[in-house]
Chain A
Amino acid sequence: MAQYLILIYENESSYIDPSPEVWQQVMEAHGRFAGQVGEKGGELLGGNALQPTTTATSIRGDVVTDGPFADTKEALGGYYLIEARDLDHALDIAKLCPAPDGGVEVRPIMDTSGG
């Protein structure tokens, strides 16, 4: 098994002041996904939603600026850390991850335990 980070990139505008119904739908979708990871034979090791990029602060060198590191139409809005057998397994799981206004990126975690 190996670890993969699923990064959720979406258009943030859909999440600004969502109605309670929309918010509930989103939460339910993510709740379902959390269950599906296990059903697919993977393991959910963690994950979080992020506050929008308007709350981001970037630091390069020691210069502090307002905003995200890269200003893109679809911004990083949340992530899951999962364990899967291989990339195909990880992609299979990631395809279920809700991201209606964008998509997800799957990145293998680097093993830094060696030395």
Chain B
Amino acid sequence: MTADDVPGREEGDVGAAVADAHRREWAFVLAATARVARDIDLAEECVQDAYVAALDAWSRQGVPRNPGAWLTTAARHRALDVLRRDRTLRGKLPLLIEPESLPEPGTDAVEGGDNTIPDDRLRLVFTCCHPALAREAQVALTLRLVCGLTTAEIAQAFLVSEPTMAARVTRAKKKISAARIAYRVPGAAELPDRLDAVLTVVHLLYTTGHTAPGGQDLVRADLAERAIGLARMLCVLMPDEREARGLLALLLLSNARRATRLDDRGRLLLLEDQDRSQWDRAAIGEGTALVVGALRGGRPGRFALQAAIDAVHAEAPSYADTDWPQLLQLYAELQKAWPSPVVALNRAVVLAMVEGPEAALAQIAAIERDGHLAGYRYLPAAKADLLRRLDRRTEAERAYRAALDLADNAAERAFLARRIAEVTRRPGPARASPG
């Protein structure tokens, strides 16, 4: 990259380099700065200042070889300046605490080159996803602090007003400092539970992006991409954690089908109607390889098993030629690893393919009696589909209507409306229909 150090680059190039560094390095820079600033708000301010300074400095001196290190040095220096100036003021504030070694103020590991930079991104992620914070706050903080999204962007993604989101982020940050949530990676004993919370947040980000809960677009590609980026980062930082690999595999495999989930008129297509030749084979290849690793070595976790299920679908030449018995087995494993009524519902759908719709309807009846999935739109939708296949049209229509009452995504609503039209269209002599 010889051009990188040549001064006098076009302004646009520098702007792009800064934007690129924002996307790639934000978490790294903020996490390293938070350790010096010992206050998340101060760290954020200093990192933002560093990015502004970069725009000017890089157009004069050229883009540095390691933009992340440059930005970290700049942000940390700024934080130390502020701390020196405001020592008395800041001394009264509850600080972000880090019980282990704290670098001496003034020392600068960053200038020694890439290898000496301690990677604090994991601390940042675990702090954002601490169980003492509400799930919605964990999600918001992760997007704000780890991904560097603005409050406005996060508010938009979750369809809440900007002041509401700003209040949510502020409240969570206040709790971190006032309740002294430690800025550290949890120890071995707590790690499994805490990691699961982190992976759940990343998965939730993905599903929010994948099926926007309301509004017109089915997919919010940016959120899904952010989630994949986070899962990738977790795999790099925790190479021994199989569930991190399982999550990345799951997201890649699901995302590989993204382009085929809607037809060219924006209508929702089910798995059986999707054009498999359009699936992203490179992503499927990467996801499948990760699944193999995630399943090996002890009982697999829920993300690895979900990814394995997606891999079976991804490798099937057609819906009819899918390995349904293997899927049934994987669902049984998944139910053991993660007993959840949603898993039971999905298993019932697979059971229909192996033993027929009646067997699946019996399972769904049991899930309905259990009551935990009341209000879950995919329950009546799955039931309706089985009834439709059995040509029990009146019952199917009733179930589709129940699903429609619960769905708020436009693409899903249109799909259910089409199904209702199908099952209410009587066979036999055609009746005149308006339009």
Contact = CB atoms under 8 A, between A and B. Distances in A.
A110 B175 CA distance: 12
A114 B92 contact: yes
A3 to B, nearest CB: 10
Contact of A111 (B94, B130, B179): B94
B92 A87 contact: no
B178 A108 contact: yes
A88 B94 contact: no
A14 B132 CA distance: 29
Contacts of B97: 85-86
Contacts of B94: 2, 111
A51 to B, nearest CB: 29
Nearest to A88: B182
Contacts of B425: none
B99 A87 contact: no
A8 B132 CA distance: 18
Interface residues of A, number: 11
Contacts of A75: none
Contact of A108 (B99, B180, B182, B186): B180
B186 to A, nearest CB: 8
Question: Considering residues A91, A108, A111, which has the most beta carbons from chain B within 10 angstroms of its beta carbon?
Answer: A108
B181 interface: yes
Nearest to A92: B190
A110 B178 CA distance: 7
Nearest to B88: A114
Given A111-B94, A114-B92, A86 B182 contact: yes
A108 B92 contact: no
B170 to A, nearest CB: 17
B209 to A, nearest CB: 31
Given A85-B99, A111-B94, A2 B132 contact: no
Interface in A74-88: 85-88
Contacts of A91: 132
A85 B132 CA distance: 16
A85 B92 CA distance: 18
A110 B92 CA distance: 11
A92 B94 CA distance: 21
Interface string B304-330: 000000000000000000000000000
Contacts of B190: 88
Contacts of B178: 108, 110
Contacts of B130: 87
Contacts of A86: 97, 99, 180-182
A85 B182 CA distance: 9
A52 B67 CA distance: 62
A85 B178 CA distance: 13
Interface string B155-189: 00000000000000000000000111110001000
A97 to B, nearest CB: 16
Contacts of B181: 86-88
B275 to A, nearest CB: 50
B180 A2 contact: yes
A87 to B, nearest CB: 5
A52 B97 CA distance: 38
Question: Considering residues B92, B99, B178, which has the most beta carbons from chain A within 10 angstroms of its beta carbon?
Answer: B178
B91 to A, nearest CB: 8
A65 B92 CA distance: 39
Nearest to B91: A114
Interface string B83-122: 0000000001010010100000000000000000000000
A86 B190 CA distance: 15
Contacts of B92: 111, 114
A114 B89 CA distance: 9
Nearest to A109: B178
Interface of A: 2, 85-88, 91, 106, 108, 110-111, 114
Q: Which 8 A-B pairs have the closest CB atoms?
A: A114-B92, A86-B182, A86-B180, A108-B179, A87-B179, A87-B181, A2-B180, A87-B180
Given A87-B130, A114-B92, 18 more contacts: A2-B94, A2-B180, A85-B97, A85-B99, A85-B180, A86-B99, A86-B180, A86-B181, A87-B132, A87-B179, A87-B182, A88-B181, A88-B182, A88-B186, A106-B179, A108-B178, A110-B178, A111-B92
